[in-house]
Amino acid sequence: MAARAAVLKGLGSYLPPRTVTNDELPRQLDTSDAWIRQRTGIRQRHWADPGVCTSDLAVEAGHRALKSAGIGTSDAVGMVIVATTTPDHPCPATAPDVAARLGLGPAAAFDVAAGCSGFVYALATAAAALTAGYAEHVLVIGAETFSTVLDPADRTTAVIFGDGAGAVVLRGGTCDEPGAILAVDLGSDGTGKDFASIPGGGARERSVRAEPNPDDRYLRMRGKEIFAQAVRRMAHSSATALGKVGWSVDQVDHLVGHQANLRILHALAQQLGMDKQRVVSHIQQAGNTSAASIPLALADAAAQHRFQTHDRLLLTAFGAGLTWGSAALTWPQLTPA
Ligand code: UT7
């Protein structure tokens, strides 16, 4: 009998309606459409309107993933995981609120904070829970409102990040079914914690300052150093996941990497020895949506019928922490919502 595995059953995504093209970015940023396209591939991003935050986007995407999975009864979902770097509050976590608003009631619900690798971390956590028999279904959501932590005067971050949410429903199954998560690899290096961080808002700041420094609520990023690390770490993690599942690079049909920068995705493909045609990119439309970027890219590609049932997918991500992670799966028969 085939080994137990988590199997992808539903996929949903949500982007807030307001788009901001490169030309519509605030003038004070002293940037240009040409620079942004050439250096990142980004043409536009979506920014949530004031008053809309991460849980709101997560609920929309979660609702759509449940619909895509054909799940109507609340007791079928035993766990809700929200991967985010921009939670609604430092406490409580965003996931219980999202679960309650989706009518998923007493399901276990918690956030995963692993930066832009959060979705892959959450997927691995969900897969472990399902193979252990903890739940029948797990809802995994990557959701971000990065627009709330962007310094409007910092062109090295403000042009890159966008808001959005993507979600998947996983069920318990076996590894011979299309949609099975067949291998994961996760890693971290906390010595790189200052490469990308939001310095304020936590215990560190409160322990040293009586009054918060308003500038510390913004994301700070050492872009060039992260770029190099991202390519190296994702390539290594991808190779590790492929080794675990026993696939060669040539057997991978689609590389779905974290959408941080089109140049990073292409450099990653080159390092792996994979042609660019197999790289899935959504960054042109949505910018870098951190933990939401992989499920958003999956939903976009699936909506364009880019994946066939049984295709082999490699997901890989890198982000603040530093963290990284990869997952190998086959594609199921599903319609994204
Ligand atoms: O999501 C996970 C974490 N984040 C990432 O993975 C992001 C990784 N890093 C990157 O994507 C890239 O490093 C950036 C897009 C952030 C920057 O691109 P780059 O090609 O590494 O540019 P750079 O930092 O080397 O800067 C080159 C020049 C500089 O000017 P000088 O010193 O050569 O005169 C920058 O000041 O480009 C300038 N610059 C800009 N110019 C116009 C930086 N940002 C901008 C901008 N518009 N938005």
Find, among 219, 215, 214, 238, the residue nearest to 318 by Cα. Answer: 238
176 DSSP assignment:
T
What residue owns the CA closest to ligand 1's atom 39? 156
> Does the Cβ of 22 fall within 6 Å of ligand 1?
no
Closest atom of ligand 1 to 40 CA is 15
Instruction: Please state, as a whole number, how many other Cβ atoms lie within 10 Å of the Cβ of residue 133.
Output: 9
The SS3 assignment for 277 reads: helix
Q: Is the pLDDT of residue 73 over 80?
A: no
Structure tokens at 256: 């779905």
- Residue with the nearest Cα to atom 12 of ligand 1? 223
What is the fold of 4-174? Peroxisomal Thiolase; Chain A, domain 1 (3.40.47)
- Residue 195 CA to ligand 1 center (angstroms) comes to 14
Residue 2 has pLDDT above 90, yes or no: no
- Is the CB of residue 224 below 6 angstroms from any atom belonging to ligand 1? yes
Phi, psi of 165 (to 5 degrees): -150, 145
CA 88 – ligand 1 centroid, Å: 28
Q: Whose CA is nearest to atom 38 of ligand 1?
A: 156
Q: Do the domains spanning 4-174 and 182-330 agree at the CATH topology level?
A: yes
- Of 20, 33, 39, the one to substitute when testing ligand 1's pocket (max ligand atoms within 8 A of C-beta) is 39
**Domain regions of the chain by residue span:** 4-174, 182-330
Could you report the per-residue pLDDT of 52-68, keeping only the tens digit for each? 999 999 999 999 999 99
Cross-strand bridge partners of residue 109: 80
**Residue whose tokens read 């002293």:** 30
Is the pLDDT score of 308 beyond 70? yes
CB atoms within 10 A of CB 85: 27
Residue 204 near residue 183 (C-beta atoms within 8 A): no
Nearest residue by C-alpha to atom 4 in ligand 1: 260
**Which atom of ligand 1 has the smallest separation from the CA of 293?**
1
Strand partners, 80: 109, 139
Minimum CA distance residue for ligand 1 atom 14: 223
- Tell me how far apart the alpha carbons of residues 248 and 274 are, in angstroms, rounded to a whole number: 10
Contacts of 69 (CB under 8 A, 6+ apart): 9, 10, 137, 169, 171, 334
Q: Does domain 182-330 have CATH number 3.40.50.2000?
A: no
Alpha helices in 246-286 (DSSP H): 262-272, 283-286
Count Cβ neighbours within 10 Å for each residue of 10-47 and write b for 16 or more, e otherwise.
Answer: bbbbbbbeeebebeebeeebebebeebeeebbbbbbbb
41 lines ligand 1 (CB under 6 A): no
> Residues 244-289: pLDDT tens digits?
999 999 999 999 999 999 999 999 999 999 999 999 999 999 999 9
**Which residue, 221, 181, 178, 216, is CA-closest to 200?**
216
- 116 CB within 6 A, ligand 1: yes
Is 156's C-beta closer than 6 angstroms to any atom of ligand 1? Answer: yes
> Ligand 1 in contact with 34 (CB < 6 A)?
no
Span 12-49, pLDDT tens digits:
999 999 999 999 998 888 999 999 999 999 999 999 99
In whole angstroms, give the CA distance from residue 37 to residue 32: 9
Q: Is 37 in the pocket of ligand 1 (CB under 6 A)?
A: no
Contact 260, 156 (CB under 8 A): no
Long-range pairs for 210-219 at CB < 8 Å and ≥24 separation? 215/151, 217/149, 218/149, 218/150, 218/151, 218/154, 218/157, 219/146, 219/149, 219/150, 219/151, 219/157, 219/161
Residue with tokens 């619909």: 67
Active-site residue list: 116, 258, 288
Residue 74: the pLDDT is 67
Residue 72 has pLDDT above 90, yes or no: no
Residue environment code for 51-66, b if the CB has 16+ CB neighbours within 10 A, otherwise e: ebbbbbbbbbbbbbbb
Answer whether 196 contacts ligand 1 (Cβ < 6 A): yes
216-234: pLDDT as tens digits: 999 999 999 999 999 999 9
User: Distance (Å, rounded) from C-alpha 122 to C-alpha 184?
Assistant: 11
Q: Distance between terminal CA atoms of the chain?
A: 33
Kindly report the protein residue whose alpha carbon is nearest to atom 43 of ligand 1.
156
**Cβ 261 under 6 angstroms from ligand 1:** yes
